[in-house]
Amino acid sequence: MFETLSDRLTSVFSSLRSKGRLSDADIDATCREIRIALLEADVALPVVKDFVAHVKERARGAEVSQALNPAQQVVKIVNDELIEILGGETRRLRLAKTPPTVIMLAGLQGAGKTTLAGKLARWLRDQNHAPLLVACDLQRPNAVQQLSVMAERAGVAVYAPEPGNGVGDPVRVARESIDHARRQQHDVVIIDTAGRLGIDQELMAQAAHIRDAVSPDEVLFVVDAMIGQDAVTTAQAFMDGVGFDGVVLTKLDGDARGGAALSVRHITGRPIMFASTGEKLEDFDAFHPDRMAGRILDMGDILTLIEQAQRTFDEAEAAKMAGKLASGDDFTLDDFLEQMMMVRRMGPIKNLLGMMPGMGQMRDQLNQVDDRDLDRVAAIIRSMTPGERSEPKIINGSRRARIARGSGVSVTEVNNLVTRFFEAQKMMKRMSQGIGIPGMPGGKRNQKQAKPKKGRRVSGDPRKAGLPKEPAADAPAKQPGGMLGNLTPGKLPKGLELPPGFDPSKFNLPGQK
């Protein structure tokens, strides 16, 4: 959703990299472009003024004027200010000292509270909690049924004593749910309330009564990230009518320009705690201001990518697969399919690649990535027999035609898959041997091999050129005779004859007494 803002800021900073030092005019022009980029992203005007003022003040300070690379220092300043405007640091849930912890959701109609309740419950379940969903939205048709379905999909319990559709007292349901949670040993209670408008005083009063009845530990304001600057007005109305402790952003995967995320925190003073980035239950996580700032500035989000991989990949399976990758030959098409499915479970490939630094400049290529290509590859492999998967070399022409018919693809696609697999197998074999890869363990370049014995070197000194060859290792040891060994006058090579009457035993060498 921050694509427009990210593209504008990236183009602004690219023009700075060619400058060895920044003048006041360069700083003013940069801040003007940043202001335009924020306004185009639908950020509230007061937020834009404060943000640009802070950037300009720091850019004219010593940290830029004395920096070795002023352009990079300006990027760092903008990154720091984005982190600050997004909340500074990650805000964690406050858990009650005595369970259950009560979390109340409030927000506009259509903001996605019921779906978000299921996502939050699943996220808490993965954190080793036992959450309970409470259906207090008794106004909207089928809201209670929808929450029950979300609870079943998330694998958590639900408390829904009333049918809804305008029937039942939500305040009483909320109050009784706390006792039910204690009896059933649920340590977290998530209360889904009815959606309302900022001017709907009756429903605002109902939300306030629910808050007073259950005394929640956290009141989370659910805001649609696509509503732009109007999120500020709505958030202020909820702050005055009900009050809340944190903000949850939904629909971050949409085509919104991101103004709500940059405005709500600054105007209300309440941190953004969670973000929903898709339609699936797993598309939900804690909000990290520093990581979001990195995405906006096209610096990537490697930490989130690592965390997703850790949640998806099993350590034992990863170690087993690492052994197969190291051997090369043991890697089969079954292993390839398993690895591909594990990557598929991490989320859309486009989103995973988008977390890599610099991918914002390859957005057109990322938009061409289609997850259905992985599904076609999986269909091809599953159309093979177990023998063909373990030994792809037996796949001849007739087998390839049969596989193509079974998977609904062309023979060319089957040929391309088999060819790419053999190339990957060869590459892994080379990696396991360390060929061409410095630092790879077990590599031929890293193995200490015995150096072959070199031939006899001939010195350039004419006096040494005629010296005899060195004796072999098994030759008898030399007799002691001082520095010159047991050589005697008259037997020295030509050019090293000793003077007549020279007696080596009478020559006092250093260290002799």
Binding residues for GTP: 107-114, 192-196, 250-253
CA distance 106 to 222: 6
Contact present, 124 and 131 (Cβ < 8 Å): yes
Closest residue by Cα to residue 137 from 237, 211, 206: 206
CA distance 248 to 268: 13
Taking the alpha carbons of 18, 23, 26, 32 in that order, is the dihedral positive or negative? positive
Closest residue by Cα to residue 365 from 347, 353, 379: 353
Partnered with residue 275 across adjacent β-strands are 249, 285
CA distance 136 to 174: 7
Q: What angle do CA 69, 74, 76 make, to 5 degrees?
A: 95
Closest residue by Cα to residue 189 from 301, 88, 96: 96
Phi, psi of 78 (to 5 degrees): -65, -40
CA distance 424 to 417: 10
Could you tell me the two tokens for 465?
Answer: 């050129």
Could you tell me the two tokens for 97?
Answer: 């000292």
Return the number of other C-beta atoms located less than 10 Å from residue 126's C-beta.
12
Phi, psi of 205 (to 5 degrees): -65, -35
| 3-class secondary structure, 292 | helix
The interaxial angle of helices 259-268 and 70-85, nearest 10 deg, is: 60
The interaxial angle of helices 333-345 and 315-327, nearest 10 deg, is: 140
Closest residue by Cα to residue 417 from 443, 454, 389: 389
| 3-class secondary structure, 236 | helix
Contact present, 381 and 406 (Cβ < 8 Å): no
CA distance 398 to 381: 16
Phi, psi of 453 (to 5 degrees): -65, 135
Residues in the annotated binding site: 107-114, 192-196, 250-253
| 3-class secondary structure, 340 | helix
Q: What angle do CA 380, 384, 385 make, to 5 degrees?
A: 165
CA distance 344 to 350: 11
Which runs of E-coded beta strand occur in 310-372? none
CA distance 35 to 53: 10
